[in-house]
Chains A and B, each alone.
Chain A
Amino acid sequence: MTPDGQSTTDHFSDPTAQAGAGLGVRLSGAHLSYDDTRLFDDLSLTLTAGRMTVLLGPSGVGKSTVLRLLAGLEDGAHARATIRCDDGGPLTGRVAYMAQRDSLLPWASVLDNAVLGARLRGEPLGPARDRARALLAEVGLGDRLVDRPGALSGGMRQRVSLARALMEDRPVVLMDEPFSALDFLTRLRLQDLTARLLAGRTVLLVTHDPLEALRMGHAVHVLHGRPATLDEALVPPGAPPRDPTDRDVLALQGELLHRLTGAGHGGAVA
């Protein structure tokens, strides 16, 4: 698999720098149940190397759990799955994670938040700070390095989160509804930025927004019903980020809405 044609000038997001040409991941036999309720059983999902796979579904269907299973954040009490990487190695330690709500530390500056990973691992902070400054400039926050998250808008905070995820420089990036708390226009801008900066990495984006799925995904899966099942992937034409006013995108949005509301019990589109 090769990264798509989008070339980026900055070497941090260059997939060949460290991350390799992405890493293919397959999750299988995923199971999630609470008490007597099975949310899903024997679910499989393939993340194609160097591509963005989108998992679209209504709230409460268990899509975040799929992501947390891949992240290794589920303790096995309710959910379990088998995870295989293309190269036979473990996925643990090769994943960056961007959460739903910005998980920035309120006491730390923008720069300190961006270098959190290096600090937690006890790596030298000098080089990390240099890299973080460049990345923060890339996401348009070069002049807000000393501000604390409380002084930033929601969009800016998610841009710091994005920079922090890129700082980790992992081949696989998992994003759990990263833009759901943002207003429409901010969301569009962040989707463009994210598609550009994550090009070439293997990405799983979990969302409940059909338009976001269509703009961002190389492949879009719909998770719906109870127990939830995964639809055959929808592959929108063209390269992401796609134009939200594009005729094909809008037509496919109708199709996705139909899948979300029509099939299964997951009637509500958030």
Chain B
Amino acid sequence: MMRIVRPVVTISGLLALWHGAYLLNGRRSYLLPSPWETLQTGVARFDSLWGHALVTWGEILLGLMLGTLLGTISAVVLVSWATARRWLMPLLVVSQAVPVFALAPLLVLWLGYGLGSKVAMATLIIYFPVASAFLDGLRRTEPGWLDQARMMNAGRWATLWHLRLPAALPALASGLRVAAAVAPIGAVVGEWVGSSAGLGYLMLHANARMQIDVMFAALALLAVFSVALYRIVDAAMRRLVSWQTETNA
């Protein structure tokens, strides 16, 4: 019961706050439209909004998949190959010192105005949290389990596959939750820098034409998708590492 009540209360509260701000602001819809006006705009321009939303959502999902794939592979390579770790770890850390946003113009220049540059942005922003969280997990296998594996004459790869990987799944899950939360940022920033479609593009376009209600409708769609994405990833991770809550209970 509370599972339904809580979000309803939260969402109504936020909408009330929004509407309160609208009233306080003297109902100047050209600065801050009311929730109701935003909804009306959303319905009226649904076709256009939906088309742009699909583009952005696609970019986010592709980026999430690609970033997760690259991040997990990197972590496995780094943990199982000491030479790679020594050479690449500093590089990995330095790569994070370069703000991904600063790369956005370059990516647009290299990969064009289309899907590619946005997926690359989202991938880049997701890659690091996934790789570092998973690597951390892989390097912190319970020593007792590794002792046990040695006594069982287990090979390196068998130990990695049957012990270290499953043991690192909770850490990977934390990384993926962060990734799911930041993935939309990458896609939208990419769209702001240069694009011809997507919610970011629509917002920039609407902003220039003082169509604040369109901006808000786009923002709302983005927020709904981001929250849904986070919840889905979170639920999937809970299922994946259900044993962890069991032992911590």
Contact = CB atoms under 8 A, between A and B. Distances in A.
Contacts of B243: 106-107, 148, 150
B246 A121 contact: no
A73 B149 CA distance: 11
A164 to B, nearest CB: 8
B152 A117 contact: yes
A103 B153 contact: no
A103 B158 contact: no
Contacts of A93: 153
Interface string B217-249: 000000000000000000000000101101101
Secondary structure call for the B interface: helix
A72 B145 CA distance: 15
B166 interface: yes
A151 interface: yes
Contacts of A149: 247
Interface stretch (A54-62, A94-102, A188-196): A94-102
B70 to A, nearest CB: 25
Interface residues of A, number: 25
A66 to B, nearest CB: 15
A168 interface: yes
Given A71-B151, A107-B243, A117-B152, A99 B144 contact: yes
Contact of A106 (B148, B152, B246): B246
A106 B247 contact: yes
Contacts of B149: 120
B140 to A, nearest CB: 14
A78 interface: no
A183 to B, nearest CB: 20
A116 interface: yes
Contact of B246 (A95, A97, A101, A151): A151
B172 to A, nearest CB: 13
Contact of B148 (A97, A108, A151): A97
A105 B244 contact: no
Contacts of A72: 150
Interface residues of B, number: 25
A73 B246 contact: no
B27 interface: no
B29 interface: no
Most buried by A among B151, B159, B246: B151
Nearest to A119: B162
Nearest to A100: B144
A122 interface: yes
Contacts of A103: 142, 144-145, 147-148
B151 A97 contact: yes
Contacts of B159: 120
A113 to B, nearest CB: 10
A63 to B, nearest CB: 16
B158 A99 contact: no
Interface of B: 142, 144-145, 147-155, 158-159, 162-163, 166-167, 169, 241, 243-244, 246-247, 249
Interface of A: 71-73, 93, 95-97, 99, 101, 103, 105-108, 116-117, 119-122, 148-151, 168
Return the 6 tightest CB-CB contacts between A and B, nearest first. A120-B154, A150-B246, A103-B144, A117-B152, A97-B151, A107-B243
16 contacts: A72-B150, A73-B150, A97-B147, A99-B147, A103-B142, A105-B166, A106-B246, A107-B167, A107-B243, A108-B166, A116-B152, A120-B153, A120-B158, A122-B155, A148-B243, A168-B152
Given A72-B150, A105-B167, A120-B159, 18 more contacts: A93-B153, A95-B151, A99-B147, A105-B166, A106-B243, A106-B247, A107-B243, A108-B166, A119-B162, A120-B154, A121-B152, A122-B155, A148-B243, A149-B247, A150-B243, A150-B249, A168-B151, A168-B152
